[in-house]
Structure 1
């Protein structure tokens, strides 16, 4: 009996195997083995190459790789380049602990720029600025309120947070509220309650990671997870749901919702597409369909974080937290897919 794998599955398996080798290299680096850097330098680029043309191994691999890269490069939108910068800045974070504040801020800022460009491309700059300003202001406001009064998240402080800060709140925090809300609301298809749940699952991983980096310290008398009480996750759901609802009112078409919302006379528009010729005639294996990025949305940030958050926790020795984070985010992602499938 011969097991036949689809081209997509072959590429995926090979790419994940290479990522696993890169992850092993990271573990070796953390244990002081310099050979780990070499493994990362080889395995990580290999994962990208294999994800694009791994099914052509044994055939015209180089020709297939060039053709598919040309097809992808012609479709890349400005927001996608910034998203790639966000991913690239995330990679060295666990391997350079001293650089976490800088790399964390830069990667979050790149994700915010990507989110703003994604929204502006589809619904106009004015609506994109409205969502960014609202989430930044609300995020900063609730963090100031929470760190001073214990409401709505519980008792914590930013006394040990690294710079830069804004009114004692690390700048990365209000920036993160915009990016997280936009990605979760897009993934939830505009369902505010579901976007709130997706953000809570995200925070399951953020709490142990950010407290380990001393961005904030919990002092709540009833800790539930990584020092955070149940109230914290309820507060996250309430704030996240409220912001997601507001986003769907500002730009309903961005999230697949009907209705006028809080409208300005700005026509919502789809992202432009660039026609790209694609030929891979010399490949001896059955080629996969032409790469198509037209359906890629900012919701991709969630599965990317699903990889980085648990992986980062493993690299700093937080194995239990990594497992729980992975299960929480996978469960939220499955719920989102089920909800969208019933729509």
Structure 2
């Protein structure tokens, strides 16, 4: 039966693709192969290296419904691909030194707070990685510190370089991560005051705080990456971080005509807003899926509202 189900799933995936190819053939006429090859070559010419790894990150999520037991392998590979995409994105926009430093800071801070949190309950609450699948680093699943870099870069990009908003976007992201990752036994909560999926209020405040801290460091190391001037970065008070009119470079657009050069890492957030609720549906967490979708869409709406005056 499982083989039959896989077969039908592959057919279901193939039918839309065959329809698209048929329509494309009708639209392009007799020289379908030549036009397709030409357009593919044009696509290759404008596609940046980080985009290939971002595409791989998405592609590795697709087989999960066909191979549920492979979630640890696919999840780690997908997050690893996203980590490399984030590294290459910063390298392209800034330089290799800043890319490496930002990745190192996020990885070390993320790993550090997870080691501290799983042993002391600070800053997230009482939880354990005892049931987590490997590989582990200092008792923490490797997928976790890898994720802190890419997720915070996405949130900081989406927030327009506002650490307080980036932290909030991370908090809303964790609304979906908690029920999904606990269902997959990556961590187990034993906090006496659970609020959501076993996690206490403290956990979400911790996510906001750690997200704010890493984002704050990011905007200090590479303010131009997020459209900021150096003087716009506040060393002391988080609410002062955007007291200046923002300086914006070229428009970051996904439209044709410079699309690849202007494509921005913030696109990862809406992608996750689709896949994360989908993952919860697959493990039977329907209510959590709906709440996660609503939370992440609210985050996208808020980011759009807050950053709407950033465009020149």
Query: Given the alignment of the two structures, is residue 141 of structure 1 paired with residue 112 of structure 2, yes or no?
Result: yes
Alignment correspondent of 1:240: 211
For the aligned residue pairs, the C-alpha RMSD in angstroms reads 2.7
Residue by residue, what CA displacement relative to the aligned partner does 1:257-276 show, whole Å, maximum 9, x if unpaired?
111669xxxxxxx99xxxxx
Aligned to 1:59, what secondary structure does the other structure show?
helix
> 1:1-343, aligned counterparts within 5 Å?
32=5, 34-43=7-16, 45=17, 59-60=27-28, 62=32, 68-259=39-230, 292-343=259-310
Q: How big is the shift at 1:84?
A: 1.1
8 Å Cα contact 2:60/2:77 also seen in 1: yes
Residue by residue, what CA displacement relative to the aligned partner does 1:18-65 show, whole Å, maximum 9, x if unpaired?
xxxxxxxxxx9799464122112333x469x58xx97x7863364775
Gaps of 5+ in 2: 235-248
Alignment correspondent of 1:266: none
2-side partners of 1:327 and 1:231: how far apart? 21
Aligned residues: 288
Alignment CA distance shift 1:33-1:76 (3 Å): closer
8 Å Cα contact 2:124/2:204 also seen in 1: yes
Q: How big is the shift at 1:201?
A: 1.0
Alignment CA distance shift 1:30-1:247 (3 Å): farther
8 Å Cα contact 1:29/1:95 also seen in 2: no
8 Å Cα contact 1:90/1:103 also seen in 2: yes
2-side partners of 1:77 and 1:320: how far apart? 38
8 Å Cα contact 1:196/1:241 also seen in 2: yes
Aligned to 1:226, what secondary structure does the other structure show?
coil
8 Å Cα contact 2:48/2:261 also seen in 1: no
Q: How big is the shift at 1:72?
A: 2.3
Aligned to 1:74, what secondary structure does the other structure show?
helix
**TM-score under structure 2 length normalisation:** 0.85
Alignment CA distance shift 1:193-1:30 (3 Å): farther
Which 10-residue stretch deviates more, 137-146 or 94-103?
Answer: 94-103
8 Å Cα contact 1:30/1:95 also seen in 2: no
2-side partners of 1:338 and 1:311: how far apart? 26
8 Å Cα contact 2:156/2:162 also seen in 1: yes
Residue by residue, what CA displacement relative to the aligned partner does 1:100-138 show, whole Å, maximum 9, x if unpaired?
111111110110000000001111011111111111111
Gaps of 5+ in 1: 1-27, 263-269, 272-287
Alignment CA distance shift 1:158-1:323 (3 Å): same
Aligned to 1:242, what secondary structure does the other structure show?
helix
8 Å Cα contact 1:71/1:290 also seen in 2: no
1-side partners of 2:84 and 2:65: how far apart? 23
2-side partners of 1:30 and 1:309: how far apart? 26
Alignment CA distance shift 1:71-1:339 (3 Å): farther
1-side partners of 2:276 and 2:152: how far apart? 17
8 Å Cα contact 1:30/1:315 also seen in 2: no
